[in-house]
Amino acid sequence: MSDDGALVLFSGGQDSTTCLAWALERFSRVETLGFDYNQRHRVELDRRAILREAMAGMNPAWLRRLGRDHTIALDALGKVSETALTRSTEIALEAGGLPNTFVPGRNIIFLTFAAALAYRRSLGHIVGGMCETDYSGYPDCRDDTIKALQVALNLGMDRRFVLHTPLMWIDKAETWTMAQDLGGRPLVDLIVEDTHTCYLGTRGERHAWGYGCGTCPACELRAKGHAKFVAEAA
């Protein structure tokens, strides 16, 4: 198991792109992992290769450290999930207070598969963009969930994985700031132009913060964070 190698959960969105830059600054070997679960916004997967190539070209150290990319098909997750992320249905709050974009168990499943791959690839660190400061209330994004899962994975695989969540305690404006601190204006511009966050998979309209429908919860969070980031930088 390598103490200087990391596997980043890399969806092609703003948060995971920022986390990839964070990992490239810290680990000597960084591999990426994406999941195809027939998500409604599957267009995000198409952004991954574009983003990896652009980030490798930004920094010679990042180019040296960026390793293999992996994609795992999780069709079963899409089939068992009756959610607005896996079905063409209107986004709304459910009776329990959670939005119907919540895919039960998604991050638990993602991190379990990531650990299995990290085991095979001899990578000791797993990096994810989970956050409970500025999010939609998903219980599998909470710090307690990630800490509990780290214990379970280490026990179940008899390895010492460290699960990193660099965005856990920051809001979306601070995520934009982190990207700027890590990669300067080129990384911020890349995130605006080439990452995808919109739950509906819309890439038609270009906003100041990037492409998206502008009204789904993911777009609203991203837009609000970008506006605050710009205002604080002025």
Residues within the annotated binding site? 10-20, 198, 213, 216, 219
| CA pair distance 185, 181, nearest whole angstrom | 9
Residue numbering of the annotated binding site for ATP = 10-20
User: Do β-strands 123-127 and 210-211 pair in parallel, antiparallel, or remain unpaired?
Assistant: unpaired
User: Cα–Cα distances in Å, from 24 out to 124, 146, 219, 233?
Assistant: 15, 21, 26, 25
208 contact partners, CB below 8 Å, separation of at least 6: 192, 223, 226, 227, 230
95 contact partners, CB below 8 Å, separation of at least 6: none
Q: One-letter amino acid identity for 67?
A: G
The C-alpha R_g of the chain, in whole angstroms, comes to 17
Which structure tokens are listed for 106?
Answer: 């998604």
Residue numbering of the annotated binding site for Zn(2+) = 198, 213, 216, 219
| CA pair distance 190, 13, nearest whole angstrom | 11
